[in-house]
Amino acid sequence: MKIPGTKNFELTTPFECENGFVFPSLMLNYKTWGTLNSDKSNVIVICHALTGHADAEKWFHGLFQQVGFINLDEDFVICINVPGSCYGSTGPNSINPETGSKYGSDFPILTIRDFVHAQIHLIDHLGITSIKSVIGASMGGMQALEWAIIDPRVKSSVVISAPARHEAWAIGISEAQRAAIYADSKWNNGDYDPNDPPKAGLKAARMMGMITYRSHELYSQRFSGNNGSQNPADVNSYLNYQGEKLVKRFDPLSYVRLTQAMDLHDVGRDRGSIETALSNCRTKFLVIGVSSDLLYPVAEQKLIAKYLPDCLYQEIDTIYGHDGFLVEFDRLNSILTQFKQEINLQHV
């Protein structure tokens, strides 16, 4: 589904993935804000998370405040939907021009690195000469890391609540969610009826995810009664609501393929090691951890900061867990604004 207000860019030359799969053509859905300056150097790239889309103002609205990291009087902002998603870019429900049928289960397992290489084609198409900053959280933060390593046009990178490599803990959580989708009788190995998809499986997967996106303390506070007791019905109702909300807007096979891409995330792959890959990166970095993040604990962000030659590490102290970056916008904007001032982004 295409998000209103977004545009499409079609790469008409073959695009080869890390695993050797070649797309004969590739569609990328994107949205922009602001105006490109004369030398096309005032660019900020926003990378979306797992179930996000190109309209970053909808889900990252805190960054679009009048005073903050983004200044639309000066900046040209672009957010690109990754291939494999279901929001307008080429994905499992897209037609394979070589067969005339939907990719379906034949849609390959991509990598975060594939996402970035695909997006670079759009940046090249727009004639962009320099990128002031790339910013992303969670899966978006993984992309922001790869952007800085791959593209020398990137002058600074902001990585929020993301690891240098998907560790066993996060991989296990992803596989458990996928297992819920596979167990749905309508899954059919990914070649399900688009009018009758495995909704129950996707709903269960999202319910699992929502537990890891929050914290023990937040759940305890949110679902405690006046006498301190916990009402199971309240917890159940909340998780069911979150699951049903995602089912209405997301595709199960896209969820599978994107989580598989996250599992393959490792900036050290084919670069010697994580330490080597990061220590060779000359981009200015801001790395932000969330104190109560269960999915990607702050030790993982501190590891990134340890090896980067030019990095500021900051931590948001909150009970909101991994999703703190979608809640604590005042704190996030304060950190981002300080970073912007320190590196003088507007004159990079």
Query: Catalytic amino acids?
Result: 138, 293, 322
Q: At 18, which amino acid appears?
A: E
- What CA–CA distance (Å, rounded) separates 110 from 97? 19
Cβ atoms of 132 and 44 closer than 8 Å: yes
Edge-first strand order for the sheet with 26-33 is 7-11, 26-33, 76-80, 43-47, 131-137, 156-160, 284-290, 311-316
Tokens for 244, please give them: 């049903």
Specify the pairing of strand 76-80 against strand 26-33.
Answer: antiparallel
Instruction: Tell me the residue ranges of DSSP E strands in 154-283.
Output: 156-160
Neighbouring CB atoms inside 10 A of 183's CB total 13
Buried/exposed code over 54-91 (b: 16+ C-beta within 10 A; e: otherwise): bbbbebbebbbeeebbbbeeebbbbbbbbbbbbbbbbb
Burial status of residue 229 (CB atoms within 10 A of its CB: 0-12, 13-18, 19 or more): exposed
Give which of 274, 65, 76, 244 is closest to 166, Cα–Cα.
274
- What CA–CA distance (Å, rounded) separates 267 from 1? 31
Alpha-helical (H) ranges within 85-167 are: 112-125, 139-150
**What is the separation of C-alpha 307 from the centre of its chain, rounded to a whole number of angstroms?**
22
Cβ atoms of 262 and 221 closer than 8 Å: no
